[in-house]
């Protein structure tokens, strides 16, 4: 006899003795029954996986479908029900009351997903920066030296200075150079 079977048998005998001693008790909800001494005792000797599968088979026997019900939150109730099954007068009603607040099991995706095709947006060519033609800004880039860089940088607000920390960083990218020169033209420094 395994430890689990011994626990079920012991629980069944205890429930029969308790039922005989407490015949007048009409309340079948063990959470509300104050006469039970072991209501807060955690049964660590019961395997939650096997007790859940036994409980699911009992639910099928009484006509309750719990295939899509998450029973993890009511482990104590399931263990109590399995141990005291014989003392429950209406198992179907008791089970329905137990599972009424249980959430549904999360749905798992079935099959595979076809990735949506990426729609390529045609890149529009930039022809202006701050209203200045790109060709004109590229011509002005030839005149950008340390002196022009210092004048433009002094005219910029502190938040913009972070973008243009040094002349080599500005000249590293055509986009940075165009924006920097456009800032200088906009502020009347270049």
14-72 per-position pLDDT tens digit: 666 776 666 545 445 555 454 554 544 555 455 556 888 899 999 999 999 988 888 88
Q: Quickly count: other Cβ atoms within 10 Å of residue 8's Cβ.
A: 18
Give the whole-angstrom CA distance, residue 70 versus residue 105.
Answer: 5
Angle of CA points 30, 88, 60, to nearest 5° = 110
Average pLDDT, the chain: 77
Q: How far is CA 36 from CA 14, 21, 45, 80, in A?
A: 11, 12, 19, 11
Per-residue pLDDT, 44: 47
Residue 156, CA distances (Å) to 27, 141, 167, 173, 187 in order: 80, 18, 14, 19, 8
Helix axes of 91-99 and 75-83: crossing angle, nearest 10 degrees? 170
State how far the Cα of 108 lies from the Cα of 5, in Å rounded to an integer: 34
For a pLDDT cut of 90, what percent of the chain falls above it?
13
């Amino acid at each position: 006899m395994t430890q689990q079977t011994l626990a079920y048998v012991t629980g069944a005998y205890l429930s029969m003795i308790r039922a005989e001693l407490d015949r007048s008790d009409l309340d079948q909800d063990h959470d509300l029954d104050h006469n039970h001494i072991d209501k807060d005792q955690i049964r660590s000797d019961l395997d939650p996986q096997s007790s859940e599968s036994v409980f699911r088979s009992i639910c099928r026997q009484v006509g309750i479908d719990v295939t899509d019900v998450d029973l993890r939150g009511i482990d104590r109730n399931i263990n109590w029900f399995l141990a005291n099954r014989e003392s429950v007068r209406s198992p179907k009603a008791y089970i329905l009351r137990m599972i009424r607040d249980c959430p549904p099991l999360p749905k798992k995706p079935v099959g595979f997903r076809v990735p949506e095709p990426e729609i390529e947006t045609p890149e529009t060519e930039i022809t202006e920066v701050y209203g200045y033609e790109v060709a004109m800004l590229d011509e002005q880039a030839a005149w950008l030296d340390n002196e022009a860089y210092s004048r433009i940088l002094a005219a910029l607000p502190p938040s913009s200075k972070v973008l243009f920390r040094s002349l080599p960083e500005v000249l590293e990218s055509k986009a940075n150079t165009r924006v920097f020169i456009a800032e200088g033209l906009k502020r009347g420094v270049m």
